[in-house]
């Protein structure tokens, strides 16, 4: 596939649009440190709190449309966030997490112990090394399909009160490819950190003549609460965040 979600791809949009690509809140599987892939695991209490803060922030950003992966951890995040935005989430399987093959349901330690050679290769090639995992070529194609869906949604909402801000709740692995496809990247490395409820904001401004201005304005941004406490210390990044970035799966 030669397509790229680049300047020409977004040029049909008639107005500036902000796309908020968001990883779901913390799930029970995240808390246990396992590769979830397509396993359908719900949010835990921390994840639901993250989703509420995300929703309040998205509302302040003027988001009026929220799409989501149908997997429970993403769908629940979208449902909670959508309440603050005064809208209903739109499920779309295009945004589902990658298939993590033989590592699905295993912890990092279990995967290393049961499949030492595969795990060693995985550390350098990510999911291309894992039997049964979704391949990079397929993921790139699915990412382009996802951007086509988002572009069509932006066109369909033209003229509404909040037509310039669209959010999608997805997963750590697939978000890697939503970002990569805007650069034409077709391999896993280097990986991006993707925290729970981390926001990746793409600004698109049409310029005419088949061109548009694109900028990733936020990368793995953590939405602040509406009224942050000045006395609250900045939390340290959990060890699991580094693992999620390396694995590309959540």
Separation CA 145–CA 45 (nearest Å): 33
Residue 46 contacts residue 14 (beta carbons within 8 Å): no
Reported confidence tier of residue 225, pLDDT bands at 50, 70, 90: confident
Reported confidence tier of residue 2, pLDDT bands at 50, 70, 90: confident
Look at residue 227 in the predicted model and tell me its pLDDT. Answer: 63
pLDDT digits (tens, 9 = 90+) for 140-158: 999 999 999 999 999 987 6
Closest CA to 154 of 57, 22, 15: 15
DSSP SS3 for 207: strand
Look at residue 1 in the predicted model and tell me its pLDDT. Answer: 62
Reported confidence tier of residue 174, pLDDT bands at 50, 70, 90: very high
Structure tokens of 1? Answer: 């596939």
Look at residue 224 in the predicted model and tell me its pLDDT. Answer: 85
Look at residue 16 in the predicted model and tell me its pLDDT. Answer: 93
**Interval 206-221 mean pLDDT:** 95
DSSP SS3 for 88: coil
* Complete domains list, the chain, with CATH: 17-99+134-226+237-247 (3.40.50.1240)
pLDDT digits (tens, 9 = 90+) for 92-102: 999 999 999 99
């Amino acid at each position: 596939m030669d397509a790229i979600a680049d300047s020409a791809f977004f040029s049909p949009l008639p107005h500036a649009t902000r796309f908020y690509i968001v990883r779901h809140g913390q799930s029970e599987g995240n808390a246990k440190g396992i590769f979830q892939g397509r396993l359908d695991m719900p949010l835990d209490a921390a994840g639901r709190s993250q989703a509420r803060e995300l929703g309040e922030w998205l509302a302040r950003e003027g988001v009026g449309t929220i799409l989501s992966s149908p997997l429970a951890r993403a769908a629940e995040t979208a449902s909670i966030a959508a309440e603050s935005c005064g809208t209903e989430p739109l499920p779309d399987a295009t945004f589902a997490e990658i298939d993590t093959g033989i590592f699905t349901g295993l912890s990092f330690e279990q995967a290393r112990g049961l499949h030492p050679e595969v795990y060693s290769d995985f550390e350098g090639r990510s999911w291309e090394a894992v039997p049964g995992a979704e391949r990079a070529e397929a993921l790139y194609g699915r990412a382009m399909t996802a951007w086509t869906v988002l572009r069509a949604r932006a066109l369909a909402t033209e003229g509404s009160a909040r037509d310039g801000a669209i959010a999608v709740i997805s997963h750590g692995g697939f978000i890697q490819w939503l970002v990569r496809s805007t650069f034409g990247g077709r391999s896993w490395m280097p990986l991006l950190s993707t925290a729970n409820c981390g926001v990746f904001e793409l600004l698109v401004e049409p310029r005419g003549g088949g061109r548009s201005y694109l900028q990733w304005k936020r990368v793995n941004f953590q939405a602040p609460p509406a009224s942050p406490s000045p006395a609250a210390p900045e939390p340290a990044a959990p060890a699991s965040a580094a693992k999620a970035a390396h694995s590309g799966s959540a």
